[in-house]
């Protein structure tokens, strides 16, 4: 199907002449004023618009200005038609956004040549845009697949680390789920809004599986010990927080963005800090503790109590766990985050029910 050209001119003779010259190669639509052209454009999209400059009520420059201001029309190519063959008019035509201009009276060869050249460039531009869009989609798909692969590797590695102390992969999945529940509810309530953006939540959930990555350097004899740790063993166990930074730099430092790596380090390093400053490894207190680590602390402790470990059976009923978390409000845990977590009865119970 041939391209559509809208010719806008208040002179009927010029409209008829343009149709005679171009009608053999293109479909011609005619409008005898700027207002008529706008009405046509509201329900049609021509491939090219030829616009007379000097028209009553709305001249060609006003019409093109309207077109460029309209998202649906602004990409349509425009050629001005003018009898004013001077440098000032030529400059103004291009400043208005035209791709070309043709002098009156029309010379058939020139008008046809300018129109065909413009439409050829338009076809090339559309083809190029389509190619760029397709390549962008391919790159987006490839990036998504790479990101998914990276996340699978990270979660798989985290599961292997967790399995060394007798846990299953449930701890990684569970804590990640609890972190998402808490963070999304905090966001919904408008809490910590200066930090808790949608992008931050996604990065935090992606970082959550790595919170115990430092345990890779803790001996099995300590990780798998069924009884109470000695003071010396406990110090070795605590070192998993300080080991995490170097490990994360080594395993993801070259493949992940800086914000995510920083957040993952915060979570791994500080999820055993306490609100009252009596935690480890740095004894941070209150809001000195990074927000992601404060969220992770609740998720980690809840799962540790709820699930079976090599050194303990699962704690039941769940209300007993709630009591322990409530007792830690304002001492071990951020009080605001604690209140939010303890309010998540419905989604938490739904997850626990379907997970089991």
Cα dist. 344→289, 337, 340 in Å? 23, 11, 7
pLDDT value at position 131? 86
Residue 233, token pair as written in the block? 């063993």
Task: Answer whether 269's CB lies under 8 Å from 293's CB.
Answer: yes
Cα gap 244→248, rounded to integer Å: 6
- Measured between alpha carbons, how far is 197 from 352 in angstroms, rounded to an integer? 27
Domains of the chain (ranges plus CATH)? 4-134 (3.40.50.2300), 164-355 (1.10.3210.10)
CA-based radius of gyration for the chain: 34
Give residue 126's pLDDT: 82
CA distance 128 to 131: 5
User: Where does residue 3 rank: exposed (0-12), middle (13-18), buried (19+ CB within 10 A)?
Assistant: middle
Rounded to the nearest angstrom, the gap between the alpha carbon of residue 155 and the centroid of all alpha carbons in its chain is: 21
Q: Which residues contact 248 (CB under 8 A, 6 or more apart)?
A: 210, 213, 261, 264, 265, 268
- Per-residue 3-state assignment (H helix, E strand, C coil) for the chain: CCCEEEEECCCHHHHHHHHHHHCCCCEEEEECCHHHHHHHHCCCCCCEEEEECCCCCCCHHHHHHHHHHCCCCCCCEEEEEECCCCHHHHHHHHHHCCCEEEECCCCHHHHHHHHHHHHHHHHHHHHHHHHHHHHHHHHHHHHHHHHHHHHHHHHHHHHHHHHCCCCCCHHHHHHHHHHHHHHHHHHHCCCCCCCCCHHHHHHHHHHHHHCCHHHHHCCHHHHCCCCCCCHHHHHHHHHHHHHHHHHHHHHHCCCCCHHHHHHHHHHHHHCCCCCCCCCCCCCCCHHHCCHHHHHHHHHHHHHHHHCCECCECCCCCHHHHHHHHHHCECCCECHHHHHHHHCCHHHHHHHHHHHC
C-beta neighbour count of 160 within 10 angstroms: 12
Ordered per-residue pLDDT tens for the chain, 356 residues: 589 999 999 999 999 999 999 998 999 999 999 999 999 999 999 999 999 998 988 999 999 999 999 999 998 999 998 887 778 887 888 888 888 888 888 888 999 998 999 999 888 888 888 888 888 888 777 667 756 656 666 666 666 666 656 555 588 889 999 999 999 999 999 999 999 999 999 999 999 999 988 888 888 888 888 888 999 999 999 999 999 888 888 877 776 788 989 999 999 999 999 999 999 999 999 999 999 999 999 999 999 999 887 778 899 999 999 999 999 999 999 999 999 999 998 889 888 887 75
183: which 2 tokens?
Answer: 């963070």
pLDDT at 159: 65
């Amino acid at each position: 199907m041939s391209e559509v050209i809208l010719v806008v001119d208040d002179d009927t003779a010029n409209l008829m002449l343009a149709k005679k010259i171009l009608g053999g190669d293109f479909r011609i639509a005619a409008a005898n004023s700027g207002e008529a052209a706008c009405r046509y454009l509201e329900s049609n999209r021509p491939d090219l618009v030829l616009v007379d400059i000097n028209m009553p009520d709305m001249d060609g420059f006003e019409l093109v200005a309207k077109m460029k201001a309209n998202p649906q029309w602004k990409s349509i190519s425009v050629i001005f038609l003018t009898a004013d063959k001077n440098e000032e008019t030529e400059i103004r035509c291009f400043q208005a956004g035209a791709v070309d201009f043709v002098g009156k009276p029309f010379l058939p060869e020139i008008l046809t040549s300018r129109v065909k050249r413009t439409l050829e460039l338009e076809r090339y531009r559309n083809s190029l845009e389509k190619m760029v869009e397709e390549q962008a989609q391919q790159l987006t798909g490839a990036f998504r697949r790479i990101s998914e692969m990276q996340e699978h590797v990270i979660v798989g590695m985290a599961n292997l680390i967790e399995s060394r102390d007798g846990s299953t992969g449930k701890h990684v999945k569970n804590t990640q789920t609890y972190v998402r529940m808490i963070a999304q509810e905090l966001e919904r309530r408008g809490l910590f809004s200066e930090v808790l953006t949608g992008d931050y939540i996604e990065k935090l959930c992606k970082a959550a599986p790595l919170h115990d990555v430092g345990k890779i350097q803790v001996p099995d004899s300590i990780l798998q010990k069924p009884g109470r740790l000695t003071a010396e063993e406990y110090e070795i166990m605590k070192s998993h927080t300080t080991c995490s930074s170097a490990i994360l730099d080594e395993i993801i430092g070259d493949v992940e963005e800086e914000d995510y790596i920083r957040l993952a380090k915060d979570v791994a390093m500080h999820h055993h800090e306490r609100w009252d400053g009596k935690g480890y490894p740095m004894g941070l207190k209150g809001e000195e503790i990074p927000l992601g680590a404060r969220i992770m602390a609740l998720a980690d402790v809840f799962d540790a109590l709820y699930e079976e470990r090599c050194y303990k059976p699962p704690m039941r009923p769940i209300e007993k766990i709630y009591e322990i978390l409530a007792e830690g409000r304002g001492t071990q845990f951020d009080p605001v985050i604690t209140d939010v977590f303890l309010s998540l009865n419905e989604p938490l119970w739904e997850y626990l029910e379907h997970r089991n």
